[in-house]
């Protein structure tokens, strides 16, 4: 069973930056972990933000392209999300997610139902 623990959320003003981190532990199965970030604002469904496969290919939702950067350290089983120029509409609880696949080049799915492991989430609040 994989455990995911997020850190780095907080309260910022519009235009500021935050860096979220997620550490995965307990992964003993075969295959390669795809890791990603989702967010859920109050009253909204959980939505895809960004993901990165083991080979390092990255994927983003359109509204964060050019502002957010996802990266990972395969040796440490960590994934980070650098968020720049934050907007009030970015405010949400951000969840780290992961799933293992046979290929290191798997293209991640954007449907949260397709992901197997989830962290508890870290809140991001952006004041205007």
Mean pLDDT of 108-115: 96
Quote the CA–CA distance of 92 and 123 in Å, as a whole number.
6
What residues have CB less than 8 Å from 57, skipping those under 6 apart? 105, 107
How many CA atoms within 13 Å lie on the side-chain side of 70?
A: 27
Beta carbons of 118 and 96 less than 8 angstroms apart? yes
pLDDT at residue number 29:
67
DSSP 32: E
Quote the CA–CA distance of 70 and 65 in Å, as a whole number.
10
What's the pLDDT tens digit per position in 22-72? 999 987 667 899 999 999 999 999 999 999 999 999 999 999 999 999 999
What's the pLDDT tens digit per position in 3-19? 999 999 999 999 999 99
Higher pLDDT among residues 28 and 106, named by residue: 106
């Amino acid at each position: 069973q994989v455990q995911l623990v997020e850190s780095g959320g907080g309260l910022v003003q519009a235009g500021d930056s935050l860096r979220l981190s997620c550490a995965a532990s307990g992964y003993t199965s075969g295959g390669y972990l795809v890791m990603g970030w989702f967010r859920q604002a109050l009253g909204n469904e959980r939505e895809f933000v960004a993901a990165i496969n083991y080979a390092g290919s990255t994927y983003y939702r359109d509204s964060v392209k050019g502002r957010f950067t996802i990266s990972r350290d395969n040796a440490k089983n960590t994934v980070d999300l650098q968020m720049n120029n934050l907007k009030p509409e970015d405010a949400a609880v951000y969840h780290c997610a992961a799933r293992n696949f046979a290929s290191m080049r798997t293209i991640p799915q954007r449907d949260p139902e397709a992901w197997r492991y989830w962290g508890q989430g870290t809140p991001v609040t952006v004041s205007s």
